[in-house]
Amino acid sequence: MAGVNEAIPIPRNRRRPRVPVPPLRRKRRRRSPDGAMTLVEHLRELRARLVKSFAAAIPGVVVGLVFYKRISAFLVQPFCDAHIRGFGQTSCPALVQNGITAPFNTALSVAAMTGILLAAPVWLYQLWAFVTPGLHTNERRWSIAFLSTAIPLFFSGAVVAYLILPKAISVLLSFTLTDASNLVEVGDYLNILIRMILVFGLAFEMPVFIAMLNVAGVLSARNLLRSWRYTTFGIFVFAAVATPTGDPFTMLTLALPMVVLFLAAYLFCVWNDRRRAARGTDYDQFDDDEASPLDYT
């Protein structure tokens, strides 16, 4: 008989019990088929879309820093055209940079604008992807159509801003006193140019946003027609406030295309409402007090 203090032999081939290790990453909550999300999930989705948009702009910023001088020469060309074609001068006057940090700040501005423009397809897609969870499955097929329209419209607005800038500069500089010399600072000029490009590019996206609201069932062609006077007035107010130059020429150059784009968006809403009514899906039949899929819990 073995002693009391004698150790009991343990078989070598005996396996130790496995201890379950909890997963490091939390399992994502499955999205509802109708796109319903809580408020926290909406905020997380927005944060993820913003991070992806900023990340997509980083390569463009690097490109802007590498080719800073070439891009700057292209951006300064409207200023030269305003003096050569508008005032009949034989050469382009030199722009002024004041301060030690002015050249570096100018390079950062040019690089940031380059990053935003080159990343426009990405952040436009991220904007659409943030909206599509609230749409029905059969309505998400409009993604390609909207993106193929939004991207050309944004760059069309940027091109229009670049082309009309010489005329806008000529109008503004024509108020210079006869005996006064006007020294234009590079930072001020690029600030005006960048703001005009972004304002025109985003303003030309107006029909896309109207169409998005119509497809989502938020805005109908009937309601759009009722408010056309207020919309037209709002377009001219927006053009007067958003344009950095403040002259009537630039305001009209922005407002008139926006009115045309608003008309095109209305025609699309009419067509889409008729198509939806033919299929028996009319969102005007729903009550305004009906619960939204957005959950605040």
What is the reported pLDDT for 293?
44
What is the reported pLDDT for 12?
59
Residue type, 129: A
Burial 99-136 (b: 16+ CB within 10 A, else e): eeeeeeebbebbbbbbbbbbbbebbbbbbbbebbbbbe
Half-sphere exposure of 33 (CA within 13 A, CB side): 2
- How far is Cα 228 from Cα 223, in angstroms, rounded to an integer? 9
Q: Provide the whole-model pTM.
A: 0.75
Domain ranges of the chain: 39-278
- How far is Cα 145 from Cα 243, in angstroms, rounded to an integer? 29
What is the reported pLDDT for 297?
35
- Judging by beta carbons within 10 Å of its beta carbon (0-12, 13-18, 19+), is residue 182 exposed, middle or buried? exposed
Q: Count Cβ atoms below 10 Å from residue 292 Cβ, excluding itself.
A: 8
Positions in the chain short of pLDDT 70: 1-37, 132-142, 281-297
